[in-house]
Every structure is written in C-alpha cells, then in structure tokens.
Amino acid sequence: MANSKPLASQRILIMATDGFEQSELEVPLERLQAAGAEVDIASLATGDITGWDGDDWGDDVEVDLKIADVNIDDYAALVLPGGQMNPDLLRVEESAVALIRDFDRAGKSIAAICHAPWLLIEAGLAEGKRLTSYKSIRTDVVNAGAEFVDEAVVVDGNIITSRCPDALPAFCDAIIEAVAESRVEA
C-alpha cells in the first residue's frame, strides 16, 4: 500500500472477555493501530480482562467500554478474537450477539478468528457463507449451514474468518484491506 497509515481516522472495535487468546487480541490491536486506526476494546464490564496464553492465564487488557454502551456508528469494523473460553462466554450474552448482528446489518466488516466463528453462528450469520475456523469447531461451522474452507483467511462479503494464531498476518491484512476499501466506497 502506498499509504503507510491506510486506516487513519478509522475506529475499530475489538470485543472480548476473559479467556481471549492473547495473540489473537494483541496482534490485531497492534497491527490496526500501526495502520492508523483507533482501536477500542469492549467487554461485558469495564476494568480489565485477562487473556489465555499457551497453557495458562496471560496478560490483562484494559477495557474501554461495555458492550452495551457501543454505538456501531462510531466504528468501521468489529474484530472477534478466539480462544475457547472467550467466544463461549460471549455467545450466551445477548448484548454481545446483538452487537454482532448490528454490525452485520450495517454492512460493516466482522472479523472472527479461531473459535470466534461460534459467535457468528450464534448471531445467525454463518448460513450460506464461506467460513474457516479452528479445526475443532469445523463441524459446528458446517452444521450452521456454512461452507467450511480450510484456508488461512476467508473473506465472504463483510465476514472475515481465520483459523488460528499462525494465520494472524493474513487475518490482519484482510481486516486492513476491508476497512480501507469500505472507506473508499463510503
């Protein structure tokens, strides 16, 4: 890209709670900020949330606002980190699922990695889509009516999915590209 800050003046939301996969929040956060975006972290409550890193708890991340307080008009995209615990806890919270649906209805990019496609399934967004995910939830993706594609990153309309931390470079590139393109179209 000719512009080293293709996301300048864009805001992106990361939604997570305790048990998020450490790298799947931190790497997109750093890459999106480096691309010029302002990135906020939304969770079920304010304070800190704790990541999962390898076989144990990871680092804390400060929450900027509660999910219930998010105004989607303020954001160009939504990023959903994985980990087993994070999406499993969020998919039973109506405020989290409703926020995902709202981003989709607005046609904004939604990026989900690892186990986070569980959230897309819960929001009713998987059916008829081409998606990828962590291998252990492949059957869940297929049973939700999606076509499972075993690739590092899959983009279908406004939905971006990725498999695992190894795919983070491609995942982040796809988010940056989608937000930069949506900005040009707007």
Query: Catalytic residues, which ones?
Result: 115
Report angle CA 20, 112, 163 to the nearest 5 degrees.
Answer: 90
Q: Is the dihedral of CA 177, 179, 181, 184 positive or negative?
A: negative
What single DSSP character describes residue 146? Answer: P
Rounded Cα–Cα distance for residues 144 and 27 (Å): 28
Sheet holding 47-53, edge to edge: 20-21, 47-53, 56-63
